[in-house]
C-alpha cells in the first residue's frame, strides 16, 4: 500500500464459496499528514523545510529576491546548511544569506504551528513578505553604524 496516498475505506475479497465480500477497514493508526500540503508525508524536518510544496514555494520566492547557495527540493536541511557552510562569498553577503535561511526555517515552522494549533492559514507568499520585512529591518538596523551592508541594501529593499 502507498503510504503517501489515501487509504482505502474498504477491502474486497472472495470467501470460500467464491462470493465477493466487502469489508470496511478501521485504521488503528494513520501516518500524520503534512500540515501545509496535506500529503500523507511524515512531517519530518526534510519534508517540512525542504521537499514540502509550501517550503519549496518559500525558498523559490526568496531565491528570486536574494541568491541562496542551495538548490530547491529535493534537498535536506543538512544539505542546505552544508551548502551555506561551504558558501564562498564576501562576509556581508554570507551573513545576509544565513539570516534569510534562519528566517525561512523559523517562519515555515511558525506558519505550520499557526495552521495546526490556531487553524490560521498563512500563505507562502505572505510568509515570504514577512521574511523580507524582517531581513530589511535587521540589516537596515545593522548597517546604520557600520555601513557593512550598504552595497546590498538596494537588493534587500527590492
Ligand atoms: Zn508538506
Distance (Å) from CA 105 to ligand 1 centroid: 14
User: pLDDT at residue 44 above 60?
Assistant: yes
Confidence (pLDDT) at 73: 52
pLDDT digits (tens, 9 = 90+) for 126-145: 999 999 999 999 999 999 88
More confident residue, 103 or 45: 103
From 73-77, 83-87, 99-103, the region with the lowest mean pLDDT:
73-77
Q: What band does 1 get if pLDDT is binned at 50, 70 and 90?
A: low
How far is the centre of ligand 1, averaged over its atoms, from the C-alpha of 125 (Å)? 16
Beta carbons of 55 and 45 less than 8 angstroms apart? no
Closest CA to 79 of 70, 87, 88: 70
CA 4 – ligand 1 centroid, Å: 11
Instruction: Read off the pTM.
Output: 0.78
Separation of 158 CA from ligand 1 center, angstroms? 29
Q: How far apart are CA 88 and CA 18, in angstroms?
A: 69
Amino acid at each position: 500500500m502507498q503510504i503517501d496516498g489515501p487509504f482505502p475505506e474498504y477491502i474486497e475479497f472472495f470467501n470460500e464459496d467464491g462470493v465477493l465480500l466487502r469489508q470496511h477497514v478501521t485504521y488503528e493508526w494513520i501516518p500524520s499528514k503534512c500540515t501545509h500540503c496535506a500529503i500523507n508525508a511524515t512531517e519530518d524536518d526534510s519534508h517540512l523545510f525542504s521537499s514540502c510544496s509550501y517550503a519549496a514555494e518559500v525558498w523559490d520566492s526568496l531565491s528570486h529576491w536574494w541568491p541562496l547557495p542551495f538548490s530547491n527540493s529535493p534537498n535536506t536541511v543538512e544539505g542546505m546548511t552544508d551548502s551555506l557552510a561551504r558558501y564562498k562569498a564576501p562576509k556581508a553577503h554570507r551573513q545576509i544569506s544565513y539570516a534569510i535561511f534562519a528566517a525561512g526555517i523559523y517562519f515555515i515552522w511558525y506558519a505550520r504551528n499557526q495552521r495546526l494549533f490556531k487553524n490560521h492559514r498563512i500563505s507562502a507568499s505572505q510568509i515570504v513578505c514577512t521574511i523580507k520585512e524582517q531581513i530589511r529591518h535587521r540589516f537596515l538596523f545593522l548597517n546604520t553604524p557600520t555601513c557593512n551592508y550598504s552595497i546590498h541594501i538596494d537588493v534587500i529593499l527590492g
